[in-house]
Amino acid sequence: MIKPHGSDHLIPLYVMDDVQRSELLKEAETLPSIIISSAAAANAVMLASGYFTPLTGYMSREDALGTAESMKTKSGLFFPVPVVNVVKDASSIKGAKRIALRDPNVKGNPILAVMDVDAIEEFSDADMKLMSEKIYRTTDNKHPGVAAFNTVGQTVISGPIKVLNFSYFKEDFPDTFRTAYEIRDEMQKLGWEKIVAFQTRNPMHRAHEELCRMAQEAVNADGILIHMLLGKLKEGDIPADVRNACIHKMVEVYFPPNTVLITGYGFDMLYAGPREAVLHALFRQNTGCSHFIIGRDHAGVSDFYGPFDAQTIFKEEVPEGALEIEIFEADHTAWSKKLNKIVMMRDVPDHSKEDFVLLSGTKVREMLGNGEALPPEFARPEVAKILIDYYQSK
């Protein structure tokens, strides 16, 4: 397994010692506190899990702007997006040097972390515009990531944190949620050295399934890490519990035992296209994966990004040696009617669009809503049934 980003070892910020965690929780109840945004809470969970190694807390205004502008902090650390705690109003913690962060996503807003406050600063309107342009490549509020980014506030609280729990993720997804250090441990027990990772925020159809096999064979990997996002999505996306059930069923039925790890991580989707692709690669390096699949429109939304911008950024903007993980560049995959199998479209130049089984997201949702079976060339019947049951229950 390859080493973590910017460090010889993972730096998870979860307080693992039970006694120390209990003492910190008692202290936290006496501290000034603030309910943070869902995005900041997800950042805390990722810091706790070691996915954001080597960060030790939330970035300052200067570091946030640096990562947005050039993917580098003031110290020169490569990082593709700001990791910040931004709020609308920090008056409840004014003057405090140590505070408790409360979870917005759990009933009663329990304490999620304890934070030492280095600074409380303001992002200007120009700062927000610059970050939107650099991270999302647009300032259009029709972009769900831009809309979310620009509605949480402009007051940035920076400093190191100690995290006391994993929000709702361990409880809601006990069989799937894994920290980066847990994934490394599992892969080590399996004896995997070369691992290919697949990111998903959707159920996996036949094309995704076969893409994982293609990548594993191409790089001669010992195993596949299917790593799904379990946090907040945009309206209309399929909920995490449904995706989770679909992927577990697909792997259970169609992959040999001990060849796939199904895991998930607690992060809210950014829909930041190329920048998020680099962030996703960094996550997988921190889990120990040697290769990461990036296909068409990775982490994109609508038509804000070109189909292969998420691959191009690694060649044109990511400095050589900034990340150790290797990118497996994939094209769109689909069932070929000519060849009776799933292929990458770039590998069959003699095919026309009519030679593939292709369904738009709108058409898939329409069919599922009507209780219609999806073509077996497009989706496994066991997966389609789970999706039909979900759409029929809405």
Q: How many CA atoms lie within 13 A of 286 on its CB side?
A: 30
Instruction: Look at residue 99 and tell me if it is in a domain.
Output: yes
The answer to whether residues 184 and 302 belong to one domain is yes
pLDDT at 19: 97
* Catalytic residue annotation: 201-202
CATH number of the CATH domain containing 160:
3.10.400.10
Residue 171: both structure tokens together: 């409880």
Instruction: Look at residue 5 and tell me if it is in a domain.
Output: no
Mean pLDDT of the residues in the chain: 93
Amino acid at 316: E
Last residue of a domain, one of 140, 167, 194: 167
Last residue of a domain, one of 142, 167, 192: 167
Taking alpha carbons only, the member of 378, 304, 367, 371 closest to residue 335 is: 378
The answer to whether residues 245 and 377 belong to one domain is yes
Is pLDDT of 392 > 90? Answer: no
pLDDT at 202: 83
Is pLDDT of 49 > 80? Answer: yes
Q: Which residue has the higher pLDDT, 14 or 365?
A: 14
The answer to whether residues 197 and 140 belong to one domain is no
Per-residue pLDDT of 311-338, as tens digits, reads 999 999 999 999 999 999 999 889 899 9
The answer to whether residues 202 and 335 belong to one domain is yes
Per-residue pLDDT of 231-253, as tens digits, reads 877 777 788 888 889 999 999 99
| 153-158: average pLDDT | 97
Q: Which of 3-7, 84-88, 238-242 has the lowest average pLDDT?
A: 238-242
Query: Rounded to an integer, what distance in angstroms lies between the CA atom of residue 46 and that of residue 359?
Result: 34
Query: Rounded to an integer, what distance in angstroms lies between the CA atom of residue 113 and that of residue 160?
Result: 10
pLDDT at 284: 97
Query: Rounded to an integer, what distance in angstroms lies between the CA atom of residue 152 and that of residue 80?
Result: 20
User: Per the structure, how many domains does the chain have?
Assistant: 2
pLDDT at 303: 86
The answer to whether residues 54 and 196 belong to one domain is no
Query: Rounded to an integer, what distance in angstroms lies between the CA atom of residue 44 and that of residue 387?
Result: 31
Q: Name the percent of the chain lying above pLDDT 70.
A: 100
The answer to whether residues 195 and 324 belong to one domain is yes
The answer to whether residues 247 and 338 belong to one domain is yes
Give 124: exposed, middle or buried? Use CB within 10 Å, 0-12, 13-18, 19+: exposed
Give 41: exposed, middle or buried? Use CB within 10 Å, 0-12, 13-18, 19+: buried
Q: Which residues are CB-neighbours of 22 under 8 A, at least 6 positions away?
A: none
| Residue 367 pLDDT class (50, 70, 90 cuts) | confident
Taking alpha carbons only, the member of 173, 176, 179, 157 closest to residue 14 is: 179
Last residue of a domain, one of 136, 167, 198: 167
Instruction: Look at residue 10 and tell me if it is in a domain.
Output: no
pLDDT at 179: 97
Per-residue pLDDT of 260-314, as tens digits, reads 999 999 998 899 999 999 999 999 999 999 999 998 888 888 889 998 999 999 9
User: Whole-prediction pTM value?
Assistant: 0.92
pLDDT at 17: 96
Is pLDDT of 22 > 90? Answer: yes
Q: Which of 79-88, 97-106, 237-246 has the lowest average pLDDT?
A: 237-246
The answer to whether residues 119 and 227 belong to one domain is no
SS3 377: coil
Q: Which residue has the higher pLDDT, 1 or 128?
A: 128
Instruction: Look at residue 39 and tell me if it is in a domain.
Output: yes
58-67, 335-344, 381-390 — which one is most confidently predicted on average? 58-67
Q: What is the DSSP-derived secondary structure letter of residue 93?
A: G
Q: What is the DSSP-derived secondary structure letter of residue 60?
A: P
Q: At what angle do helices 381-393 and 361-369 cross, to 10 degrees?
A: 70
Q: By residue range, what is the domain housing residue 150?
A: 18-167
pLDDT at 15: 97
Cα dist from 239 to 99, 110, 208, 232, 389, whole Å: 33, 24, 18, 9, 13
The answer to whether residues 239 and 356 belong to one domain is yes
**54 preceded by a cis bond (ω within 30 of 0):** yes
Is pLDDT of 213 > 80? Answer: yes
Is pLDDT of 24 > 90? Answer: yes
Taking alpha carbons only, the member of 190, 127, 192, 115 closest to residue 154 is: 127
| 45-63: average pLDDT | 97
pLDDT at 27: 97
CATH number of the CATH domain containing 186:
3.40.50.620
pLDDT at 360: 74
Taking alpha carbons only, the member of 230, 241, 376 closest to residue 385 is: 376
Residue labelled with tokens 């946090």 = 231
